[in-house]
């Protein structure tokens, strides 16, 4: 009986030691991964600095594309007067897409994906439209939150911010109406 108890105790202790060793190994990897993992604070700093004041609404002509290299986006004003902020990163393999004025489309230099003014895919291999940033229009000033990338599967009209219609702040409506 005593021997049996001893054997049980020993196998229990062996299992305990093995378990603790596994836990310790796990902790080692956990700590290591915390060092390699992208740090949150970097992103938060990005987000604070990410708000870019693009300028008054009327400085942007309809049917125009303006590049903002510091925010890594293009501010697009569509023909109906609405604004879109398109991430310049191709959704295929991450290359930077330039706006081709003559062809009136974004053409990726890496694999020739093309996107229209709204960022929707015109030509493969890219499968998704260009990513978006949130556009806000406060008191007739266009501001873009370039810290937070918004992925989308297709273009829908709700993604467009119009100078008069969509207000996110409690500020009074802008005095001027832009057409």
Partner 1 sequence: MGEVPEVPERRGLLRSIWHSIFRGPVVPRDERERRRVVLIHLPLHLRPTQVPEAALRYSRTFGLGGMALVLIGLLMVTGVLLVFVYKPSPEDAHGSLLTLQREVLFGRLVRNVHYWSANFLVVVTCLHLLRVFFTGAFHGARQFNWVIGLLLLLGVLLSNFTGYLLPWDQRSYWAITICASMASYVPIAGPWLQRLVQGGSEIGASTLLNFYAIHTTISPVFILILVGFHSWRIRKAGGVVTPPVVGTPDRVSFVPNLLMREVAVGLGLVAGVLLLSVFASAPLGAPANPGMSPNPAKAPWYFMGFQELLLHFHSLFSVFVLPLAAAVALFLIPYLRYDAEPSGVWFLSAKGRRLAIGAAVFGLVVAPVLVIADEFIFTRESWLPGAASWLRSGVLPVAGLTLATCALAFALKRRFAPTRGEMTQTIFVLLVTAFAVLTMTGVWFRGRGMALTWPRSQPASAVTEIAEAEE
Q: Which residues bind partner 1 (CB under 8 A)?
A: 36-39, 42-43, 46, 69, 72, 88-90, 92-98, 108-112, 124-125, 127, 149
Nearest residue to 174 (alpha-carbon basis) of 134, 145, 143? 143
- Of 97 and 160, the one with the shorter C-beta distance to partner 1 is 97
- Of 79 and 153, the one with the shorter C-beta distance to partner 1 is 153
At its nearest, how many Å lie between partner 1 and the CB of residue 71? 11
Cα dihedral value 62, 151, 144, 119, nearest 10: -20
Q: Which residues are paired to 107 by β-bridges? A: 114
At its nearest, how many Å lie between partner 1 and the CB of residue 106? 12
- Of 26 and 124, the one with the shorter C-beta distance to partner 1 is 124
At its nearest, how many Å lie between partner 1 and the CB of residue 109? 4
Q: Which residues are paired to 150 by β-bridges? A: 132
Q: What's the CA gap between 105 and 21, in Å, rounded?
A: 58
């Amino acid at each position: 009986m005593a021997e049996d108890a001893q054997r049980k105790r020993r196998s229990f202790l062996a299992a305990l030691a093995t378990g603790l060793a596994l836990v310790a190994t796990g902790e080692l990897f956990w700590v290591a991964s915390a060092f390699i993992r992208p740090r949150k604070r970097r992103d938060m700093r990005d987000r604070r600095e990410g708000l870019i004041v693009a300028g008054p609404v009327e400085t942007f002509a309809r049917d125009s594309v303006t590049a903002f290299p510091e925010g890594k986006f293009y501010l697009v004003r569509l023909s109906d007067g609405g604004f879109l902020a398109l991430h310049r990163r191709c959704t295929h393999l991450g290359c930077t897409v330039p706006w081709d004025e003559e062809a009136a489309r974004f053409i990726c230099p890496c694999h020739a994906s093309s996107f229209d003014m709204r960022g929707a895919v015109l030509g493969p291999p890219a499968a998704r439209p260009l990513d978006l940033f949130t556009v806000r229009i406060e008191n007739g000033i266009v501001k873009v939150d370039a810290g937070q990338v918004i992925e989308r599967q297709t273009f829908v009209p709700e993604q467009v911010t119009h100078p008069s219609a969509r207000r996110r702040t409690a500020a009074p409506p802008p005095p001027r109406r832009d057409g």
